[in-house]
Amino acid sequence: MKRRPTSWYLWKLMRYAPFICVLHAILWGMINASTLLYGVFISRLIADLETGANDRATIFALAFAGLGIGQAVLWLIAGRTELVMRFSVSSGVVRRNLLRMLLATPGAVALSHSVGDTLSRFRDDAYMAEDALDWTNEIVLQVLIACSALGVMLWIDTPLTLMTVIPTLAIILGARLAGGHLASLRRASSEATSRFTSTVGDVVAASLSIQAAGASDRTIHHIAGLAGDRRSATLKDRIVTQAVDGITWNASAIGTGLVMLFAASRIHEGKLSVAEFVLFTAWLGTVTNIAVDLGRYLAQMAAARVAFDRMEAIAERAPADMTIVDHTLLYLTGAIPELPAQPAPIHTQIDALSMAIAGQQIALPRGQMIAITGRIGSGKTRVLQSLLELDPAGEAAFLLDSAALDNVSEDLNIGYVPQVPKLFHGTVRENILLDRDVDEVSLHEALTLAALDYDLARFPDGLDTIVGARGLRVSGGQAQRIALTRALVTRPMLLVVDDLSSALDVDTERAVWSGLRSQPVLTILAVSHRRFVLEQADEIVVLRAGAVDACGPLDEVLANSSEMRTLWDEEET
């Protein structure tokens, strides 16, 4: 994926809601500009006192009160605007696009990083993007206001301004140069956090296996080591950041001290009035603070560069025309529109359906069962993933009238049960329906075909039983049959299953396959090495190193394929 500059991402985000971004910049610019008015009012009041004109004291008091009230109102409006900009324009858009890109990536390669690492990038790196947009939006007017204040200070007393500002800026720039490796520290901190959260997520998912292996103590020790690495990396990042910030923030106080030293002689010589000195001192903070903010802004941009790179990395296999800053609707206000009805498959008849595997075409007659078998590593699962367009690098495809389909998921009504079923933390019903509009008759038919109805009667809350995170509260066989029910509930014309019997006992396996084979119009494509399943098949495809070694009925492939005979004998053993 092409590496883009940080400015490109920020410009795209600003263009998503230009009115909000411009309003946010203007409001914070008004707040910063109005702060300068305090110095003007105080200097004018002192000037009046010096000349003996006390008649405007009440006016200045009212002006102070009005300015304070006005700033409070501006703060409220600007704060609200910033919340909208942060969560709707920046992090909201980025996170939605990240999820959209992951869902658009072929399933077999969608998640190239661990779940914990991915969540860390969704949470922390999107927040960095949010901060970068906020700073960029505010810094332009801050610089203009500070330059205006600097111009007035130079007009009042050029030598004093230079003697005060130049040393202060030198201190700030020196501190920033010393913190130039902040980006590398931020990257190390982010990666350490990702490793820690990823491992914790994996440990929670595999807690039963860890306990069964007696590896709890070693696992805790490993997590403690990762936590120590994270603490060390974060501490280095924070120390350097706070040291640089501390030096730059104290530069304002240093500047004020220099003003005191140099201004005394200027006042004594009559080259600087007390009122001008007050104005000079009041505005000095604005000038020095912008140098501080510019330094912090540069550090923020370095951190944002790291964040954008990390977010792009988890979606690097998404379609090339998608980016993490695409303009997509978030529906943060108003009613959320209804989802469009799921379009019916284009092809409802599959009499002419076939599949091509490594250049060899194999028919898939309606109502028949085709089994794919082979040694471990022969490419069985990859063939299924390629057929379902989950693996773009595969060499298998579904054909209709010998022509490849444009979009398998839209063209055909296919049910798919992967080798390792994925369940979500929710009820059995939610895991089966996935928010699809399915009638109760179809649901109960699917439950019966998957032989899940007996288990369902023993579940404490039936279909409303919580399966737990990743299905930890149900057995492996129950998880497989919940996934099978999910695939059958839409009454598919083609059922694709990958090693469906791996977690089933003998009786349940026979009940499941008996139910599936009783459906006269259901075509089944199954990956398996089990004798019972192979005996159910009308045709068997034997794979060897990703290519078709033999194809035909069981007796025929046993007679013609030494590979099949070896597999058959190994299964018996």
The pLDDT tens digits for 71-114 are 899 999 988 888 888 877 778 899 999 999 888 877 666 677 77
The enclosing domain of 544 has a CATH number of 3.40.50.300
Q: How far apart are CA 528 and CA 507, in angstroms?
A: 17
Residue 226 predicted with pLDDT over 80:
yes
Q: Which amino acid is at 347?
A: H
- The label of the residue with tokens 């998957």 reads 450
* Whether residue 126 sits in one domain with residue 248: yes
CA 390/CA 410 separation, integer angstroms: 14
**SS3 per residue for 354-379:** EEEECCEEEECCCCCEEEEEECCCCC
User: For residue 4, which phi and psi values (nearest 5 degrees)?
Assistant: -110, 155
137 to each of 20, 140, 142, how far by Cα in Å? 10, 7, 10
Where b means 16+ CB within 10 Å and e means fewer, 115-150 reads ebbbebbbebbbbbbbbbbbbbbbbebbeebbeebb
pLDDT at residue number 261? 74
Q: What confidence score (pLDDT) does residue 287 get?
A: 79
What tokens were used for 493?
């014309």
Choosing from 260, 290, 314, the residue where a domain stops is: 314
Both 124 and 230 in one domain: the answer is: yes
Query: Considering 314, 330, 363, which residue would you say is the last residue of a domain?
Result: 314
Q: Is the pLDDT of residue 493 over 80?
A: yes
Residue 347 domain flag = no
Give the 3-state secondary structure of residue 397.
strand
Is residue 389 in a domain?
yes
> What is the extent of the structural domain holding 144?
8-314
**Backbone phi, then psi, for 552, in 5-degree steps?**
155, -175
Residue 326 lies in a domain: no
Residue 291 and residue 374 in one domain: no
Is it the case that residue 182 has pLDDT exceeding 70? no
Residue 395 pLDDT = 80
Q: Check pLDDT > 90 for residue 320.
A: no
Q: Indicate whether 438 pLDDT > 80.
A: yes
H helices of 85-156, in order, are 91-104, 115-120, 126-156
Return all residues near 214 (Cβ < 8 A) that are at least 6 apart. Answer: none
Q: Does residue 465 fall inside a structural domain?
A: yes
Buried b (16+ CB within 10 A) or exposed e, 332-343: eeeeeeeeeeee
- pTM exceeds 0.75 for this model: no
Question: Residue 38: pLDDT above 60?
Answer: yes
Residue 18 burial by Cβ neighbours in a 10 Å radius (0-12, 13-18, 19+): exposed
Q: Are residues 511 and 567 in the same domain?
A: yes
CA distance 181 to 240: 9
Cβ–Cβ contacts within 10 Å for residue 228, how many? Answer: 12
258 and 398 in a single domain? The answer is: no
pLDDT at 554 (0 to 100): 92
Mean pLDDT of 514-534: 90
The total domain count for the chain is: 2
Q: What's the confidence (pLDDT) of residue 349?
A: 58
361 and 308 share one domain: no
Does residue 332 form part of some domain?
no
- The pLDDT confidence band at residue 485, using thresholds 50, 70 and 90, is very high
Amino acid of residue 506: V
* Model pLDDT, residue 110: 61
List the single range of 155-164, 170-179, 189-198, 455-464 with lowest mean pLDDT: 170-179
- The pLDDT confidence band at residue 420, using thresholds 50, 70 and 90, is confident
**Quick one: tokens of 407?**
């979009």
Give yes or no: residues 459 and 537 share one domain: yes
